[in-house]
Structure 1
Amino acid sequence: MMMAAVRKSTNWFAIGVTAAALVIVLIVGGVVWFANSQATSPGTLPESSAVNTENGAIAIGSGAKSVDTYVDFMCPVCNSFEQAYGPTLQQLADDGTITLNIHPIAILDRLSQGTQYSTRAANAAYCVAVDDPANVSAYVKALYAQQPKENTAGLDDATLASIATSAGASDSVASCISDGTYTRFVTAMTAKTPLQANATSIATPTIAVNGVTLNNQSDLTGDPQKDIVDRLDG
């Protein structure tokens, strides 16, 4: 006697539950990936012939040798560095000896009563560079000339914009500054600041001559000839 073949029924319910669970896993994974990418993304890039969007440098001059300065515009030591070394660096850039790469970074936001002045000032520097890089040097000097004290609110956006137009920028720079267009870019570039020798955290100013990072304690004596010019030739 022949036995009837047993037909196995397909459990569509179980398949449906499994498929739904897989979709949920994919969606959650996608959300996590998107959130992580947004957190680390540099956001809007400052498109300018003078800005290196990989490391955040704003280039002044076009010399074969290089000096990189990583500065926070609320940092009083950065201001002191500017007063002592700025004229020499500007001359070296003007005469074609160096490319001066200014990296506006933000490590002192905690000292501006919640206004994030360091980030806002750095953003403003990029706004000026995008508007017309020829005005960056004048703007940087003006920011130092009107540098707020630590633990104050810092300059407001309207003042940052006014200083920019006084340095030669167009009126359109005001919206870039007030919108914080390059805020995320500043944050991303700050994280790329090189550490000084034996340091465990970022410090400002950080200076690199021909790619070699100097130590503020031992390599910056206040003598531009010894500390910068001689190293360019070394």
Structure 2
Amino acid sequence: MMMAAARKSTNWFAIGVTAAAVVVVLVIGGVVWFANNQATSPGTVPQSSAVNADTGAIAVGSGSQTVDTYIDFMCPICNSFEQAYGSTLQQLVDDGTITLNIHPISILDAQSQGTQYSTRAANAAYCVAVDDPANVSAFVTAMYAQQPTEGTSGLDDATLATIAKNAGASDAVSSCITDGTYTKFVTAITKKTPSQTGSGIATPTIAINGTVLVNQTDLTGDPQKDIVDRLNG
């Protein structure tokens, strides 16, 4: 009788160990999911009527045609593009021909001695756009005017805040810049930059009405030929 009773008894120890193992697996799975989610999360998304949360574009103007510029504020060729084409693009915005979609991205952090200048500068652009998108064009122009040389530490956050406020932003922009509010958004949105040749991201990358240009062959330095004529078909 005792043996029969023993055979019917429940092994609570084994069940407890199994349950504990299941809990551990679930916890580990949850940690892995959270880590992966954090790694791919865009973080805080800029809340502005001018910012496209999906593409990262900051819209300037309201024309029916579009010119998209993907820029890194540490990129000297982006500055050269601004000097050659900036006034033409602004005129096209002013006369209602185009919406200029500015995409501040970050591919040159390695060129700023560990200060992540490209990311910080792009974050500052989104801070300005959220504060008042009317000041974005002035901010971009001022950033190019004070562009640091590749390989230097870049401008510090206090200087970025001063540039933003001189462009018309309110004092509230300072904490947005120093806190790096949109840093993760910049990192996430940079990955969406279209490739010019299929071999990777480059700056500046320009798209006219959705067609990506190849800097080496499609841009000659002549705004009439490269931008206006393409807009006119």
Structure-2-length-normalised TM-score? 0.96
Tell me, what secondary structure is at the counterpart of 1:25? helix
Tell me, what secondary structure is at the counterpart of 1:139? helix
Other-structure match for 1:88: 88
Per-residue deviation, residues 55-109 of structure 1 (Å, max 9, x unmatched): 1000001111111000000100000000111111111111111110000001111
Other-structure match for 1:226: 225
Tell me, what secondary structure is at the counterpart of 1:229? helix
**Aligned-pair distance for 1:183?**
0.6
**Aligned: 1:147 with 2:147:** yes
Tell me, what secondary structure is at the counterpart of 2:8? coil
Other-structure match for 1:119: 119
Cα distance in 2 for residues equivalent to 1:233 and 1:15: 75
Tell me, what secondary structure is at the counterpart of 1:128? helix
Q: Mapping of 1:155-170 within 5 angstroms? A: 155-170=155-170
Other-structure match for 1:99: 99
- The total of aligned residue pairs comes to 230
**Aligned-pair distance for 1:53?**
0.9
Cα distance in 2 for residues equivalent to 1:144 and 1:132: 20
Tell me, what secondary structure is at the counterpart of 1:124? helix
Cα distance in 2 for residues equivalent to 1:172 and 1:186: 20
Per-residue deviation, residues 173-207 of structure 1 (Å, max 9, x unmatched): 0111111111111100111100002x422100000
Cα distance in 2 for residues equivalent to 1:173 and 1:183: 14
Tell me, what secondary structure is at the counterpart of 2:67? strand
Per-residue deviation, residues 20-54 of structure 1 (Å, max 9, x unmatched): 11111011001001001101111011100000111
Other-structure match for 2:211: 212
Other-structure match for 1:11: 11
Cα distance in 1 for residues equivalent to 2:30 and 2:63: 46
Other-structure match for 2:37: 37
Tell me, what secondary structure is at the counterpart of 1:29? helix
Cα distance in 2 for residues equivalent to 1:46 and 1:193: 18
- C-alpha RMSD over aligned residues: 1.3
Tell me, what secondary structure is at the counterpart of 2:39? helix
Cα distance in 2 for residues equivalent to 1:172 and 1:21: 50
**Aligned-pair distance for 1:5?**
7.1
**Aligned-pair distance for 1:228?**
1.2
Q: Mapping of 1:40-59 within 5 angstroms? A: 40-59=40-59
Per-residue deviation, residues 145-171 of structure 1 (Å, max 9, x unmatched): 010111111111111111111110001
- Runs ≥4 in structure 1, deviation > 4 angstroms? 4-7
Tell me, what secondary structure is at the counterpart of 1:162? helix
Cα distance in 2 for residues equivalent to 1:225 and 1:185: 34
Cα distance in 2 for residues equivalent to 1:60 and 1:68: 10
Letter in 2 for 1:226: K
Other-structure match for 2:61: 61
Letter in 2 for 1:128: V
Tell me, what secondary structure is at the counterpart of 1:87? helix
Letter in 2 for 1:206: T
Cα distance in 2 for residues equivalent to 1:221 and 1:14: 75
Cα distance in 1 for residues equivalent to 2:95 and 2:15: 74
Letter in 2 for 1:191: K
Letter in 2 for 1:162: T
Letter in 2 for 1:141: T
Structure 1's unaligned 5+ residue stretches are none
